[in-house]
Amino acid sequence: MADDSQIRIGVLSCTNIVRKVSRAINLAPNATVAAIASISNSIEEMKSFAASNNFPPTAKIHGSYESLLEDPDVDAVYFPIPASLHVDWAVRAAQKGKHILLDKPVALSVYEFDQIVEACEANGIQFMDGTQWIHNPRTAKIKEFLTDPASFGQLKTVQSCFSFAANENFLKKDIRVKPGLDGLGALGDAGWYTIQASLLANSFRLPKTVTALPGHVLNDAGIVLSCGALLDWEEGVTATIYCSFLANVTMEITAIGTKGTLRVHDFVIPFQETEASFTTSTTDCLSEHKTMNEIPQEACMVIEFARLVGEIKSRGAKPDGFWLSFSRKTQVIVDAVKESLDNNLERVLVSGR
Amino acid sequence: MADDSQIRIGVLSCTNIVRKVSRAINLAPNATVAAIASISNSIEEMKSFAASNNFPPTAKIHGSYESLLEDPDVDAVYFPIPASLHVDWAVRAAQKGKHILLDKPVALSVYEFDQIVEACEANGIQFMDGTQWIHNPRTAKIKEFLTDPASFGQLKTVQSCFSFAANENFLKKDIRVKPGLDGLGALGDAGWYTIQASLLANSFRLPKTVTALPGHVLNDAGIVLSCGALLDWEEGVTATIYCSFLANVTMEITAIGTKGTLRVHDFVIPFQETEASFTTSTTDCLSEHKTMNEIPQEACMVIEFARLVGEIKSRGAKPDGFWLSFSRKTQVIVDAVKESLDNNLERVLVSGR
């Protein structure tokens, strides 16, 4: 049985990312895996998956997503399903009173995502997207540096990229290159991280305009395999992002302020699981910073999500709206890059969206 | 007296950069400072400048550039004068048979630079622009990595930036922010380095198109203080450059290939004078590389320049055309960024220019 103070999380599907996140739930003292449902695995396969991933023996096996959403012993649901299914299942989950941990991209468009927003707000649901690096203690330290007027000054530009060289199998079969599934390709996947890095560096303000850059690569079905974009805050403050399934693994943030520079070389997944580093420099000083995290960043994410759900469940707190808003802004920029790509790289006005 | 095998270099002006380059000439065993001319300093001031910068006692003092160019004991001239004067003086120097070490930007436009090209070619002149980092032994090692199909693969993107936060005095009075002098601003200065880094990473091939990015900053006279651009080679291969007089000093190259990634954090001026480092990474390996140079990179530049001049002088060799061509390609891209900035950020076709 779950400890009463633990948030009971149901997970969907038996994919690799569920292995990682269920391990994180196991590591989080305030959460437990309460149930699993898969539509492409038999009950036997799910049982074996649960056992091999150390689910608690109390974890229930559901033959359908509907059944898991009806389960009164599930407080929240982790959704690592294709983006094309998000709006439908997230809205249903919210209507059933389940809190939501949703993988990125959170939807195929802001239009879709706003239906999730509405359902969450109407039902008092805590929402969070499943981006893990934001919860690494290193990120808090990075934010501290970027918002310190004495050492960083005012942001001028932030350049981030996330690429990895996908193998042939991925490029043929992964859901991230299929129009009917995660139709946003590298932009909704790797690009999501770079957009959030740009927002983080700009105190989560939306840029005024977004422009896709020449040189993008699409597959035969029109899915983005590689692209770049320029975000413009219109006061001489810009960000460039680059995301690709076709280039060696690189996870870089370079943020330049009037007084300081930040460099991170492994922002998405730190080279080591329990420590992470970044460098800062000013005109006369280059410093290496290291942060330790006893548990991996994905468990930090689960702890924060479960903490917020716990506040709602046990104290009647309101959901923390930051996470919905952060995901929405990210999706607004994803949409704008897509719109620019679809319209001959025209500049897209996003302020007010 | 200069050793007969030494190339005798005349320098123009008494500026800080002449202090740095004349020190480099002194450090180069195959070159010597043979003369100085300044149009804004008295003979007495030049004598004192020569003494305080350890010019050989044989170095001649000329009251005009013309007089220095007539000096039969000068083989080559270093020109750290405003870009608006380059075409006039470089063409005159070539016509007088003087080899040319010309500071960047080499001209205000390719149209102007082609007059220098023509004069050099007609008179058998060795040309080199005064960009120093290209001559650091580290750069040869970087090139080796970038052209190694086994460890780097094929280039996908290269992102480079060079910024420094100029003080108020610079922003008001430096020649680099004056329309009549170095009218290309941060683009012709800091941007020059980032363009050469992009060309180096692409085996010195010109891109197909160049597009300036939104978010540039101009001063009241219309001079670029900060801008970015995208270079597109049209096979999914791109470069982004960022140059600024308004952001903390940052000198970054990140080049991503299909198999490897290169990172350099101090490409323009290494943090240390006699050693330099860079990192390379592949999927499973991160390596730090260090190169040593007994003499600073600006002396490496002088040695190479003097070596080429020496080949012409003593063996009747032909000038090495690589350097003219490299400078010209850089200027083509500078012009294209400027053209794009001047035309609402339109994409500019450069192939064939």
**What are B34-47's pLDDT values in tens digits?**
999 999 999 999 99
Cβ contact A156–B258 (<8 Å)? no
- Rounded to whole angstroms, the Cα distance separating B134 from B267 reads 9
Which residues of B are less than 8 Å from A213 in CB distance?
Answer: 211, 213, 230, 238, 240
Tell me the pLDDT band of B133, cut-offs 50, 70 and 90.
very high
Q: Percent of chain A scored above 90 by pLDDT?
A: 93
Among B95, B94, B96, B97, smallest CA distance to B106 is for: B94
What pLDDT shows up at residue B179? 86
What's the pLDDT score for residue A117? 98
In the numeric block, which tokens belong to residue A271? 């080279």
- What angle do the packed helices B110-123 and B322-342 form, to 10 degrees? 170
Per the listing, tokens 């270079």 go with: B231
Structure tokens at B102: 């010309």
Q: What integer is the mean pLDDT of A92-97? A: 98
Within 8 A of A233 by CB-CB distance, chain B residues are 215
Residues A101-142: tens digit of each pLDDT: 999 999 999 999 999 999 999 999 999 999 999 999 999 999
**Residue B84 structure tokens:** 């608006």
Interchain proximity A240–B228, CB inside 8 Å:
yes
Average pLDDT over residues A15-24: 95
With beta carbons less than 8 A apart as the criterion, state whether B129 and B100 touch: no
Annotate B266-290 with three-state secondary structure. Answer: ECCCCCCCCEEEEEEEECCEEEEEE
Q: Which of A83, A75, A160, A156 is nearest to A116 (CA)?
A: A83
Q: What is the pTM of this model?
A: 0.95
| CB within 8 Å of chain B, chain A residues 229-248 | 230, 232-234, 236-238, 240, 242, 244, 246-248
pLDDT at position A1 is 46
Residues from chain B that touch A228, judged by Cβ atoms under 8 A, are 157, 230, 238, 240
List chain A residues with CB under 8 Å of B241: none
- pLDDT of A40 above 70: yes
The closest alpha carbon to B119, from B131, B106, B132, B130, belongs to B106
Secondary structure class of A37 (helix, strand, coil): strand
Average pLDDT, chain A: 96
- Cβ distance A206 to A341 under 8 Å? no
Q: Average pLDDT for residues A28-46, to the nearest whole number?
A: 96
What does chain B come to in residues? Answer: 353
B261 DSSP β-pair partners: B256, B281
Q: Give residue-wise pLDDT tens across range A216-255.
A: 999 999 999 999 999 999 989 999 999 999 999 999 999 9
CA angle in degrees (0–180, nearest 5) for B129-B135-B137: 175
* pLDDT (tens digit per residue) in B301-332: 999 999 999 999 999 999 999 999 999 999 99
Residue to test with chain B: of A225, A234, A256, most B Cβ within 10 A: A256
Taking only the tens place, the pLDDT of each residue in B45-100 is 999 999 999 999 999 999 999 999 999 999 999 999 999 999 999 999 999 999 99
The per-residue pLDDT for B1 is: 47
Q: Is the pLDDT of residue B176 over 80?
A: yes
Predicted confidence at residue B2, as pLDDT, reads 53
- Per-residue pLDDT, averaged over B97-107, amounts to 97
Residues of A in contact with B249 (CB under 8 A): 261, 281, 283
Nearest residue on chain B to A245, alpha-carbon basis: B258
Whether residue B252 is predicted with pLDDT greater than 90 in this model: the reply is yes
The mean per-residue pLDDT over the stretch A21-37 comes to: 97
pLDDT digits (tens, 9 = 90+) for B217-237: 999 999 999 999 999 999 999
pLDDT at A338 (0 to 100): 97
Please name the residue of chain A whose CA is at the shortest distance from the CA of residue B271: A286
Please tell me the distance from the alpha carbon of residue A99 to that of residue B323, in angstroms, as a whole number.
63
Q: Taking CB atoms and an 8 Å limit, are B230 and A215 in contact across chains?
A: yes
* Chain A CB within 8 Å of residue B221 CB: no
Q: Are strands A31-37 and A347-349 parallel, antiparallel or unpaired?
A: unpaired
* Torsional class of A203: left (φ above 0), alpha (ψ -120 to 50), beta (otherwise): left
pLDDT at A303: 98
Residues of chain B found within 8 Å of residue A165, distances taken between Cβ atoms: 258-259, 283
Residue A151 makes CB contacts below 8 A (sequence gap 6+) with A145, A259, A260, A280, A282
Q: What are the tens digits of pLDDT across the range A265-322?
A: 999 999 999 999 999 999 888 999 999 999 999 999 999 999 999 999 999 999 999 9
**pLDDT at residue B204 greater than cutoff 90:** yes
Task: State both tokens at A305.
Answer: 């999500």
Q: Using CB atoms, pick whichever of B214, B256, B258 lies closest to residue A230.
A: B214
The ipTM value here is 0.94
Can you tell me the distance from the alpha carbon of A76 to that of A79, in angstroms, rounded to the nearest whole number? 10
Distance CA B51, CA B61 (A): 11
- CA atoms within a 13 Å half-sphere pointing along the CA-CB vector of A121: 11
